[in-house]
Amino acid sequence: KAGVTQTPRYLIKTRGQQVTLSCSPISGHRSVSWYQQTPGQGLQFLFEYFSETQRNKGNFPGRFSGRQFSNSRSEMNVSTLELGDSALYLCASSFNRNTGELFFGEGSRLTVL
Amino acid sequence: QKEVEQNSGPLSVPEGAIASLNCTYSDRVSQSFFWYRQYSGKSPELIMSIYSNGDKEDGRFTAQLNKASQYVSLLIRDSQPSDSATYLCAVSRAGNMLTFGGGTRLMVKP
C-alpha cells in the first residue's frame, strides 16, 4: 500500500512569490491535514480537509489556504511568501475524522529567500 | 505557557534500560493523546494512542494517561539504539487537529 505522497519535495522561492504544494493520501483515507514544522515553533497545525470541506483551521494568516478534491488529494497554497514561511510542510492522511492517528508524508521543504 | 510541554532533552539511557518520557498539557477538554516518533530527517510516525486514564501497553511501549493531572507519559522498556529519535507528544480536542509538544530527544547508548 503506497504511503502519503507529497510533491515537490524541495523548492526555493523568493519573497512575494506564491507556492502550491500537493498531497496524495493513502488510498481509502478521506481526511487530509497539513502541518508546518520549524525548528523554533515545532509542528503546528494548518488545516484539515474531509470530504472536500475544510473542517478545522489553525492559527495561520489568510495567506495560507488549501483545498481537497473529490479523490481526496489535497493542495495547499501560500501566497505572498515571507522569509518566515521557510519550513517543512507535512501532509498527513487518516481514514476518518476524529482519530488523530495520522500517517505523514515525507514533507515539502520550502526555502524562501 | 505552551499548550503541550515536553522536556527537550536529550534524554540519554543505556541500552536495555527503561526510557521514561513525559508530557503535560493545558487544555482540559483534550480527549485524545498520542505519541509520535520522528527520526532525524524523517517524518513523524504514530507509535501509541491513548484515550482513557490508565496504562496502555503495546510491545515494549507503555503509554500512561492521567487526565486529572493533565499528564501523559511513554515508557520504553529494553531500550535499543534504534529507539534513538525525537518523541512527540500530541493532544487533540476533536478531529485530526493535533497540538504537538516540542518533542524529547532520546539517545540510547550501546
Asked if A100 and B49 come within 8 Å (Cβ–Cβ), the reply is yes
Q: Measure A26 CA to nearest chain B CA, in Å.
A: 14
Instruction: Tell whether the model's pLDDT for residue A66 goes beyond 70.
Output: yes
Neighboring chain A residues of B43 at a CB cutoff of 8 Å: 90, 104-107
A33-37, A83-87, B26-30, B40-44: the lowest-pLDDT one: B26-30
Q: Quick: pLDDT tens for A2-27.
A: 899 999 999 999 999 999 999 999 99
**DSSP reduced 3-state for B97:** coil
Which of B42, B92, B103 lies closest to A100 in CB terms? Answer: B92
Confidence of residue B1 (pLDDT cuts 50, 70, 90): low
Considering only alpha carbons, which residue of chain A is nearest residue B94?
A98
Asked if A90 and B96 come within 8 Å (Cβ–Cβ), the reply is no
The Cα B76–Cα B64 span in angstroms is 12
- Whether residue A22 contacts residue A73, with contact meaning beta carbons closer than 8 Å, is answered with yes
Specify the length of chain B in residues: 110
Q: Which of residues 56-85 of B touch A (CB under 8 A)?
A: none
Q: Which three three-digit cell numbers place residue B35?
A: 505519541
Which of B43, B90, B101 lies closest to A107 in CB terms? Answer: B43
Considering only alpha carbons, which residue of chain B is nearest residue A46?
B97
CA A112 to chain CA centroid, nearest Å = 17
The Cα B14–Cα A51 span in angstroms is 47
Asked if B49 and A98 come within 8 Å (Cβ–Cβ), the reply is no
- Whether residue B47 contacts residue B36, with contact meaning beta carbons closer than 8 Å, is answered with yes
Q: Quick: pLDDT tens for A78-105.
A: 999 999 999 999 999 999 887 889 999 9
Considering only alpha carbons, which residue of chain A is nearest residue B100?
A43
Confidence of residue B45 (pLDDT cuts 50, 70, 90): very high
**Beta strand pairing call for B11-14 and B104-109:** parallel
Asked if A33 and B96 come within 8 Å (Cβ–Cβ), the reply is yes
Neighboring chain A residues of B42 at a CB cutoff of 8 Å: 106
What mean pLDDT, rounded, does chain A reach? 95
In this prediction, residue B96 carries a pLDDT of: 86
Asked if B96 and A102 come within 8 Å (Cβ–Cβ), the reply is yes
